[in-house]
Amino acid sequence: MEDHTKLGDDYSLSRVPQNARLPMWDIMIVRVGALATLSQFMLGAALGYGMTFWQAFWAMMFGSVILQVISFLIGYAGAREGLSTSLLSRWTGFGRYGSSIIGAVIAFCTIGWFGVQNTVFANGLVEATDGKLTLPIAAAITGLGVTVLVIFGFKLLSMTAKITVPAFLLVVGIGIYQVLSDHSILSLMGTPPPGESLSLGVGATMVAGGFIIGAVITPDFSRFARNGKDVFWMTTIGTLVGELGVGMIAVLMAHAAKTSDVVSIMLQTSGWLGAAVVVFSTVKINNVNLYSSSLGFTNIFDSVFKVKMNRGLVTLVIGAIGTLLSIMGILDRFVDFLVLLGIMIPPIAGIMVVDYFVLRTYRKALDESREKGTLPSEPEKLNPVTLVAWAAGFASGYFITVGIPSINSLLISGIIYYAGVLFTKAIKGKKENRDHIAS
């Protein structure tokens, strides 16, 4: 049995037992923190700059509904089984080695965003200290500070979020009051977009694509939920407050200031409070980035090398790497690569949801082992159908220009996986019949 008393282990390679589950509030505050961020603010401002208030509202609503459905379904599976995304994927279509590929994609994607966000965080500190701190020193302080927080596991993430989320929302409220004090909200809701117009499809794509990775890694946090109802409220409140609430406020600010550069507006209008927005928002999202990355890497070591690495130690190493990369300033060049990964990750959700809820390939084994509090016996090593479906989903997200790329990749991968599994079962059944007749 795995020793979970080790620092920072946090059930990274086993089920989260019922006695370690947390109240809905503790998980929900982390979810809100992952959504109510600077990047969400910038997304809302970009929509407001190119759309009317109501066009932006419907784009935000459509994108949010898509994210909510994906988050709830995959989050419910994570809570029911008590497993993280990369571990759950072993028994939902990907097999032992396939799950390590998922772990790698999610881990590299989230450590990349950790580095990018850490640079933003460090810039906020430089602004707040009027340049007394240089960027490399600030990046070292912020990166290693967040790393230490994440080593101590989900409970400390929740405690941090209870401080940073209300503080972030308070600071945002003060900044908004100062920016909007000269404008009537009703008149802003009726003004034309100040910039080049965006279509509803493009707007919804921006919303759904902006948090699709966060939706796919929902089980990393929902595995601590006590039941499906808690998952529903955690994802719903997170979407309403973090996605719609913060996003629509940023739309109004873009209309008031006639620009999409909300960060500079807030730094100009609220000084150190504006810098605090940057700092608080990146602490919260970087907690999530580093935590999911550590879970992905522990799964890789276990599935490929059969080595059970301690999650706290893994966190320390990748946090140091991410911090070093942000100090070196090379992560800015990886943003396009990370955006590309954003098309690679949605098919994971499509395949996992179809396998868990529709095909139910390993549901019996999962149910039986859950009763004992253990993991099911070893799954298949790798399912070729999964790789074909994943590749097709990625290609469709990349090449099909109609609709929302991240949703195209998710739907097509799910459909091809479903059809492929049924086809291979039919072929196998015919072969078994022929062998039986021959014998």
Highest mean pLDDT out of 92-106, 186-200, 207-221, 346-360: 346-360
In this prediction, residue 338 carries a pLDDT of 58
- What confidence score (pLDDT) does residue 385 get? 95
Write the pLDDT tens digit of every residue in 208-226. Answer: 877 888 899 899 999 999 9
- 254 domain residue, yes or no: yes
Question: 44 or 124: whose pLDDT is higher?
Answer: 44
Inside any domain, residue 335: yes
Residue 381 lies in a domain: no
* C-beta separation of 88 from 75 below 8 A: no
Domain that holds residue 59: 18-344
pLDDT digits (tens, 9 = 90+) for 277-302: 666 667 777 888 888 888 888 988 88
Averaged over 360-382, what is the pLDDT? Answer: 91
Stated as kind and residue range, the H or E segment containing 310 is: none
Q: What is the pLDDT of residue 405?
A: 81
Q: How many domains does the chain have?
A: 1
Asked if residue 361 is part of any domain, the answer here is no
406 in any annotated domain: no
Residue 409 has pLDDT above 60, yes or no: yes
Question: Is the CB of residue 25 less than 8 Å from the CB of residue 234?
Answer: no
Confidence of residue 273 (pLDDT cuts 50, 70, 90): low
Amino acid at 194: P
Over residues 79-104, the mean pLDDT reads 92
Measure CA 190 to chain center: 33
- Per-residue pLDDT band for 6 (boundaries 50, 70, 90) equals low
Average pLDDT estimate for 367-394: 92
Q: Is residue 327 part of a domain?
A: yes
pLDDT number for residue 260: 73
Q: Is 368 inside a domain boundary?
A: no
Give pLDDT, residue 337: 66
Opening angle at CA 148, ends 272 and 230, nearest 5: 85
The average pLDDT across 235-257 equals: 88
Most confident of 170-184, 258-272, 285-299: 285-299
Residue 353 lies in a domain: no
CATH number reported for the structural domain that contains residue 44 in this entry:
1.10.4160.10
